[in-house]
Amino acid sequence: MQKCVFLDRDGVINKDYVDYVYSADKLELLPGVEEALQALKQAGFLLIVITNQSGIAKGIYTREQMHETHRLIQQALGGTIDHFYYAPWHPSVSNCLTRKPGSLLFERAIARYKVDAGQSWMVGDKDRDLIPAKKVGLKTIQVEHADSPRADHKVADLRACLPLILDESRG
């Protein structure tokens, strides 16, 4: 069984914009993200991004633009992300179980990568990131934004997650 850190994308890895991040000119990695992900990788964690990308359903950008954004993120982070899962839906257009707060993408990743949920984490910035994580048995960390009653820990940014995750994984 693998230990894993699941990550939301916008607001955790890169700066979040109200009008979406889907091009190189909008992509701004948050401070310390590259170093934090490298440290988690060196500690033996899988790194899986689970992200809602509702701008696709709304016709604001295409899947190709999103995939290009993910390629740019991977390039900037030295290829540390093991997989990007995304939900291209929005309730105003269509319903689906893959969109957070649904847990289907988490369940798929856990099955595919043989993840030990009890030794794994979700880092998100919104309550909807933490709801499905709790459902599948992950420990949760909320970064920067609104208060979630579901967060096991609350920290300023991804860098501040390291002591929590690494100390617990050591034992």
> Which residues have a catalytic role annotated?
8, 10
* Annotated binding residue 8: yes
Distance (Å, whole) CA 46 – CA 27:
23
Please, what is the angle between helix 127-135 and helix 104-113, to 10°?
50
* Annotated binding residue 96: yes
* Annotated binding residue 20: yes
* Annotated binding residue 80: no
- DSSP, res 70: H
Q: Where does residue 22 rank: exposed (0-12), middle (13-18), buried (19+ CB within 10 A)?
A: buried
* Annotated binding residue 125: yes
* Annotated binding residue 113: no
Contact 47, 40 (CB under 8 A): yes
User: Which parts are annotated binding residues for Zn(2+)?
Assistant: 96
User: Which parts are annotated binding residues?
Assistant: 8-10, 16-20, 51-54, 96, 99-100, 125-126
User: Which parts are annotated binding residues for Mg(2+)?
Assistant: 8, 10, 125-126
User: Which parts are annotated binding residues for substrate?
Assistant: 8-10, 16-20, 51-54, 99-100, 126
